[in-house]
Structure 1
């Protein structure tokens, strides 16, 4: 049996934003191993909503990080669509414009939210709490 901390285990993380700099900040903040109890992260960068849906339909995504400020399709609406249309979704984290937008993250049925600007420690802690073995 392979342990979750084995270097052979990878978790695919979908990072969606129309902004390449936002995707880069997310991936830099998390790195490939944000916590020793988590598997190595492998990032799939996506810039458009239709490609997000393709990847999610295909399966194999262990965490989706969606930018609520993305245009033309925001990550909040996309999170809601994924929850409404797919039978099984991985944990979904949305990046929100400000902390007061948490209610929108709740409406979207996201598992967690982190406000812009991205705080690397907060993002890492949130992802760790979503993925930590139970």
Structure 2
């Protein structure tokens, strides 16, 4: 059995994590393998997971309390050898410039549009590295 893409999803808010997973769905398309989700609620858990396991995509909540996804993204892009692509969820479209500072590969602003989230995940996972 083929293992699908591995996605690390970080938000301190479980409703944001649920929204992202529901928006993306179980797989990227018909006939594709199921996505394998790993959910974490703290920045420390993101850093530990990114250093110790292999992921195909990191989805980070830029609005997470204590350590937002943009700062975590920049840290990982500078620390993790061959860091996987990162999708950052921002508070608003105007935060895209800050997400570019964080070295994010893709950005989706709030309110989270399910189609935009699904499209960004699919595009980020399938773009050449």
| TM-score bin, normalised by smaller chain | over 0.9
User: Does 2:87 match 1:93?
Assistant: yes
Aligned to 2:120: 126
TM-score normalised per structure 2: 0.92
| In 2: Cα distance, 1:133 partner to 1:105 partner | 18
Q: How does 1:1-134 map to 2 (within 5 A)?
A: 8-36=2-30, 39-132=33-126
| In 2: Cα distance, 1:39 partner to 1:53 partner | 26
| In 2: Cα distance, 1:73 partner to 1:43 partner | 21
Alpha carbons of structure 1 residues 119 and 43: separation in structure 2 relative to 1, 3 Å: same
Question: Would you say the 8 A contact 1:65–1:94 is kept in 2?
Answer: yes
Segments of 5+ residues of structure 1 without an aligned counterpart are 1-6
Tell me how far 1:37 sits from its aligned partner. 7.3
Question: Which stretches of structure 1, 4 residues or longer, exceed 6 Å deviation after superposition?
Answer: none
> How many equivalent residue pairs?
128
